[in-house]
Structure 1
Amino acid sequence: MPRSLAVSDSIVIQAAPAAIYAQVSNPALMGRWSPENLGATVRGGTSDAYVGMEFDGHNRRGPLRWTTRCTVTAAVPGQRFAFRVHAIGRRRPLLRGRIATWEYRFDPVDGGTRVTETWRDDRRAWPDPVANAFDRLATRGHTFAEFQRGNIRRTLRNLKEAMESAPRPS
């Protein structure tokens, strides 16, 4: 069975696109919303995203922990933030390869911003049966597309709750 290579979901948040972008584009903060990511260490120490910026994402799924190396591929304040995951390892991301791309779009709508989160499977060279078998083992019975669909939904709900409950500037 061919695998799904991308999933996305959207939510409307009652906040300005620039305010949401400022939070999402700082990889160190992602652990506040993601069910799997624990945050990140930005290489070079800056928190303002720019194309080419690298960071190491710290992740957990049940008892498993791993680190990914990521590079920002889009950083348009208030509009779009994206990065590709290109290395992985237990403590340090030593195993290199095309893994995934994550993208966030921020579209102004009445009452706030529509935030769309998209995950793309970059393991194009993997045969579908091999990828599906690996995915089911790594996610306890799901494909990565199914698994990420749930993660995206939870991340967006958590982001909405955090942004809408934050004090607003007067």
Structure 2
Amino acid sequence: MSREFTVSDSVVVNADASELYDAISDPTKMGSWSPENLGAVVLEPRDSAYVGMTFDGRNKRGRAQWITRSTVTVADPGKAFEFRVHAIGVKTPRIKAANATWRYDFESIPGGTKVTETWTDDRRKWPDALAFVFDKIVTSGKTFPQFQRRNIAKTLANLQKHYA
């Protein structure tokens, strides 16, 4: 079985694209929607997201907690926001390695905004067998694509509920 490297889902949210972009592009607020993220600290804050902005995210899955370091790669207000996770650790993001890319696309449509969340596995250098074993250990028996599909669905549902 070959690895799946990208999963995404979409939902229509009753808010305009600019408002949703502003909320999602502020990593300190992600904990309001994500089932794993507890929020973040922006290392060099400004009024809004910008390409090159770096932040440390706090995450929790069951009893496990960890910190990730991410850098914003796309900051197009009202249209797209993307960041790459490139370091991870228990108390500080010490282990530097490609991890994942998260992207949010915003499309204005009648009735609100179609928000698409996409996760891409950036662990391209990992052998498939190692990735499958690691994934199943840290996700209680799932692959990361299976696990992230569920997380994306929960995040989007929480976002939609927040703006209902």
**Bin of the TM-score, shorter chain as denominator length:** over 0.9
| Superposition RMSD in Å | 0.7
Q: Spell out the pairing of 1:19-38 with structure 2 (5 A cutoff).
A: 19-38=19-38
Where does residue 45 of structure 2 map in the other structure?
45
How far apart are the structure 1 equivalents of 2:147 and 2:97?
21
CA shift in 2, pair 1:45/1:132, >3 Å: same
> What SS class does the counterpart of residue 135 from structure 2 fall into?
helix
TM-score of the superposition, structure 1-length normalised? 0.95
CA shift in 2, pair 1:47/1:27, >3 Å: farther
Q: Does 1:11 align with 2:30?
A: no
Runs of 4+ aligned structure 1 residues displaced above 6 Å come to none
How far apart are the structure 2 equivalents of 1:131 and 1:67?
20
Q: Does 1:67 align with 2:44?
A: no
Q: Spell out the pairing of 1:13-162 with structure 2 (5 A cutoff).
A: 13-162=13-162
> What SS class does the counterpart of residue 117 from structure 2 fall into?
strand
User: What whole-Å deviation, never above 9, does each CA across 1:2-53 have from its counterpart, x for those lacking one?
Assistant: 1110000000011100010010000000000000000000001335100000
> What SS class does the counterpart of residue 163 from structure 2 fall into?
helix
8 Å CA contact retained: 1:20, 1:163: no
CA shift in 2, pair 1:88/1:47, >3 Å: farther
How far apart are the structure 1 equivalents of 2:11 and 2:63?
30
> What SS class does the counterpart of residue 18 from structure 1 fall into?
helix
How far apart are the structure 2 equivalents of 1:112 and 1:9?
16
Instruction: Give the length in aligned residue pairs.
Output: 164
> What SS class does the counterpart of residue 39 from structure 2 fall into?
strand
How far apart are the structure 2 equivalents of 1:153 and 1:7?
11
How far apart are the structure 1 equivalents of 2:45 and 2:8?
30
TM-score of the superposition, structure 2-length normalised? 0.99
How far apart are the structure 1 equivalents of 2:121 and 2:47?
26
8 Å CA contact retained: 1:87, 1:94: yes
The unaligned stretches of length 5 or more in structure 1 are: 165-170
How far apart are the structure 1 equivalents of 2:59 and 2:18?
26
> What SS class does the counterpart of residue 19 from structure 2 fall into?
helix
How far apart are the structure 2 equivalents of 1:43 and 1:15?
29
Structure 1 counterpart of 2:148, which letter?
Answer: Q
Q: Which moved more, 1:42-51 or 1:141-150?
A: 42-51
